[in-house]
Structure 1
Amino acid sequence: MGFKDKTNRLSKLRSWFTVIFSSLLSLVLLLELLRFLIISKELFKTTHSPDNNYKIEFYLTNGGATTSFGVIGKLDGPLWFEKTIYNDYRMDHANVEWINNHTVSINNHILDLKKGETYSD
């Protein structure tokens, strides 16, 4: 029935809420699709902690002719979840050294993964 249903205020509010909410969701989907198509992301390095409890994947990002390269480090989590722990702009490599089972040095930035530390430039 949509906007034709004018029996009470709740039906009008529900109609407007549905239109606004679905429009916002469509906009978010469109922006994510554009980001996916424009910004390329390429896996170039994978590293594991000494005890194999942590796995970090490093991606080289390229936004096109007007932006510089960047490095993103993603920590694998449970199921299909990932956490971005390292994000550095104007960088095209990742020097990774594990200090211990849960502390890693990435391009001289020390992150304690047990505490949930991250780095973003």
Structure 2
Amino acid sequence: MTRIIEHPILGKLEEQKKVQITIDGKPYTVHEGEMIAAALLANDIKTFRYTRHQHKPRGIYCGIGRCTDCIMTVDGIPNVRTCVTPVKEGMAIETQQGSGKWKEGDRGE
């Protein structure tokens, strides 16, 4: 997928710092601060989770954090809304299965 480098109203977009993240164990280089969902779409990843009962794929839907179609497991935390969560260096993002599961010791206990 090609990123825009010039916006019709805002003009030329500034170059952003690039960071490394992993998505389902594979490394990707993305723009720091962009929303996780945007980084995934820019890398042609369209399935973010599978539903709990029927195991159907879901991706971005509302894009403003109101629905839960874009939830993924991020750094061991399930149910993170990726459309409103910015990318940070070293994030580990995983396609979520159903309701998701906390990784051992990641509940802040």
**Pair in the same fold by TM > 0.5:** no
Q: Which structure is larger by alpha-carbon Rg, 1 or 2?
A: 1
- Structure with higher strand content: 1
Q: Which has the higher contact order (CA 8 A, sep 6+)?
A: 2
Q: TM-score, normalised by structure 2?
A: 0.29
Q: TM-score, normalised by structure 1?
A: 0.27
- Structure with higher helix content: 1
